[in-house]
């Protein structure tokens, strides 16, 4: 099969992904083989390629927002059938037996594997995944529209949940820092739940997108909003935003960090944290997050804005992402 392969860690500007032929994977006994039709491009793919995550498995096929159809079933798979349209997300497999898995926190599993980082992902014609870890995709969405839901969407949804937002959040003031793929989706869920959204981004086009999606206010990353915020989520990987967000958070407010990687957080005065403000990170997702989000996404329905690239243009897609030149989410069409 054709795949876009990373052989060694390198800056994306050097175009390290190589379009090449590799053996088509075979499904293990509990896995399905998916014929990939679309794969979303995520900032985490950049972190994998540029070596910002702590482990490196090479060579690797990146990509963890995979949409495709089931082409073969492992011998023990009973819950999927040939032709099913499914998504393969970042959470590839958990162990089911560690203290976190047994406590309903499989996102923190000690032995989890992750798609496109520790096992091959979806910048390819085919991919395999455990049948229990793929999600049926609602008919509401085309393949390209659905791809960004699988990481940007699910992680944004978990970030909202960990911020304390739910279907009963009318009037809550939510700040969103960084207005890329995750924010484009999270704002739609937050508005659906009745929250007011305040968008902080250095990019004027992204401020316009935020207004178009119903933001109450949009300003620069370090601007003061017209009112103090109940909650804030940071999607941009910039540690200095933690200070900026704490400055505009009300007493008792929660600041949620949605990224897998962030630059160093500068020293700060304790007064910024005092009065029971909470800073917490988001790590991966549970399968329940994914299923719940896809149900809500179809109900709303979420609209994703995508910029489509061919498999041969994977380097270009990632370069565009790194340099803020993608509006919405880059999606590779296979």
Which of the 8 DSSP states describes residue 225?
Answer: P
Residue 205, classed as helix, strand or coil, is helix
Q: HSE (CB half, 13 Å, CA atoms) of 55? A: 9
- Least distance (Å) from Zn ion to the CB of residue 225? 27
As a whole number of angstroms, the distance between CA 73 and CA 284 comes to 26
- Least distance (Å) from Zn ion to the CB of residue 64? 6
Q: With binding defined as CB under 5 A, does residue 98 bind Zn ion?
A: yes
Give the N- to C-terminal CA distance of the chain in Å, as an integer.
11
Please report, as residue ranges, which positions from 182 to 241 form the binding site for Zn ion (by CB under 5 A): none
Q: With binding defined as CB under 5 A, does residue 119 bind Zn ion?
A: no
Contacts of residue 303, Cβ cutoff 8 Å, sequence gap at least 6: 145, 188
Contacts of residue 136, Cβ cutoff 8 Å, sequence gap at least 6: 84, 85, 86, 294
Q: How many CB atoms lie within 10 A of CB 35?
A: 16
Of 94 and 319, the one with the shorter C-beta distance to Zn ion is 94
Residue from 6, 151, 241, 318 that binds Zn ion (CB under 5 A)? 151
CA-wise closest residue to 290 among 146, 113, 143: 146
Stretch binding Zn ion (CB under 5 A), from 46-54, 86-94, 221-229, 241-249: 86-94
CA-wise closest residue to 242 among 250, 251, 233, 230: 233
For Zn ion, how many residues bind (rule: CB under 5 A)? 8
- Least distance (Å) from Zn ion to the CB of residue 68? 17
H/E stretch holding 242 = helix 240-247
Q: With binding defined as CB under 5 A, does residue 95 bind Zn ion?
A: yes
Residue from 32, 70, 86, 101 that binds Zn ion (CB under 5 A)? 101
- Least distance (Å) from Zn ion to the CB of residue 233? 15
Stretch binding Zn ion (CB under 5 A), from 46-54, 99-107, 200-208, 237-245: 99-107
Of 41 and 229, the one with the shorter C-beta distance to Zn ion is 41
Please report, as residue ranges, which positions from 26 to 85 form the binding site for Zn ion (by CB under 5 A): 42, 44
- Least distance (Å) from Zn ion to the CB of residue 205? 22
Q: With binding defined as CB under 5 A, does residue 109 bind Zn ion?
A: yes
Q: With binding defined as CB under 5 A, does residue 146 bind Zn ion?
A: no
Q: HSE (CB half, 13 Å, CA atoms) of 121? A: 37
- Least distance (Å) from Zn ion to the CB of residue 109? 3
Which of the 8 DSSP states describes residue 53?
Answer: S
Residue ranges in contact with Zn ion by CB under 5 A: 42, 44, 94-95, 98, 101, 109, 151
């Amino acid at each position: 099969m054709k795949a876009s392969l990373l052989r060694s860690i390198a800056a994306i500007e050097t175009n390290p992904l190589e379009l090449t032929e590799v053996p088509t994977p075979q499904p293990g006994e509990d896995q399905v083989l998916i014929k990939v039709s679309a794969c979303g491009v995520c900032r985490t793919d950049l972190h994998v390629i540029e070596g910002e995550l702590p482990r490196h498995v090479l060579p690797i096929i990146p990509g963890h927002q995979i949409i495709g159809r089931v082409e073969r079933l492992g011998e023990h798979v009973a819950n999927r059938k040939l032709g099913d349209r499914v998504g393969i997300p970042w959470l590839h497999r958990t162990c089911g037996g560690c203290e976190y898995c047994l406590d309903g926190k499989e996102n923190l599993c000690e032995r989890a594997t992750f798609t496109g980082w520790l096992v091959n992902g979806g910048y390819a014609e085919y991919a395999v995944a455990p049948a229990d870890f793929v999600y049926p995709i609602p008919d509401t969405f085309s393949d390209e529209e659905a791809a960004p839901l699988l990481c940007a969407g699910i992680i944004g949804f978990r970030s909202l949940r960990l911020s304390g937002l739910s279907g009963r959040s009318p009037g809550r003031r939510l700040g969103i820092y960084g207005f890329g793929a995750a924010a484009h989706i999270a704002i739609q869920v937050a508005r659906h739940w009745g929250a007011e959204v305040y968008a902080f981004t250095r990019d004027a086009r992204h401020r316009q997108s935020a207004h178009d999606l119903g933001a109450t206010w949009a300003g620069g990353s370090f601007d003061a909003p017209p009112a103090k915020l109940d909650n804030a989520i940071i999607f941009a990987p910039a540690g200095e935003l933690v200070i900026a967000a704490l400055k505009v958070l009300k007493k008792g407010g929660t600041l949620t960090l949605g990224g897998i990687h962030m630059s160093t957080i500068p020293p700060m005065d304790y007064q910024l944290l005092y009065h029971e403000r909470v800073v917490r990170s988001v790590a991966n997702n549970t399968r329940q997050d994914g299923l719940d989000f896809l149900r809500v996404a179809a109900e709303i329905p979420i609209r994703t804005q995508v910029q489509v690239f061919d498999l041969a243009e994977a380097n270009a897609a990632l370069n565009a992402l790194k340099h803020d030149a993608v509006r919405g989410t880059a999606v590779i069409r296979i």
